[in-house]
Amino acid sequence: MKCLICHAVSNTVHVAEDWSEVACSAGCGRFRVSANLIKSMKGRNESFDIERTRQWLKMSRNDEPVPLISRYDYNVALLHRDTGEKSAIAPSRSRQPLTSD
Ligand SMILES: [Zn+2]
C-alpha cells in the first residue's frame, strides 16, 4: 500500500485492530497510524502535512521508536491547512518600517 503521509510506495508492516504500522523508505520511516484516524481522514479527504509530520515523527522517536499518530496528534499538530496561517497576519505589521542593518 501507499505511505499514508507522503503516498510513496511503502510496506505495511502490521495491521492491528486499532492501528496500522507502515515502513516508508521515502523519508517517513516507521510509524503507526490509528485506525480511527485513517478512517476519518478518508471520509473527509484530508491529508498529512508531509514536512510537519516527518518532523513530528522525528521528535516522537526520542521517546518511542515507532510513534503512533492518533486522531488527537493529527488535529493538534499535523492537520494540513492551506488557509489560515497566512491570512492571520496582522495588517499593522506591514506598515512598520523595515529596519535593515
Ligand atoms: Zn512516506
Collect all residues with Cβ–Cβ distance below 8 Å to 32 and sequence separation of at least 6: 19, 20, 21, 22, 66, 67, 68, 69
pLDDT for residue 98: 59
In the predicted structure, residue 29 carries a pLDDT above the cut 70: yes
How many angstroms separate the alpha carbon of residue 36 from the centre of ligand 1?
19
Q: Rounded to 10 degrees, what is the CA torsion of 38, 40, 46, 52?
A: -60
Cell numbers 511503502 label which residue? 10
User: Can you list the positions of beta strands (E) in the chain?
Assistant: 11-15, 19-24, 29-34, 68-69
**pLDDT value of residue 87:** 42
Residue 90 has pLDDT above 50, yes or no: no
Q: What is the pLDDT of residue 22?
A: 96
**Maximum CA extent, the chain:** 58
Cα-to-centroid distance, 53 and ligand 1 (Å):
10
The predicted pLDDT at position 89 comes to: 44
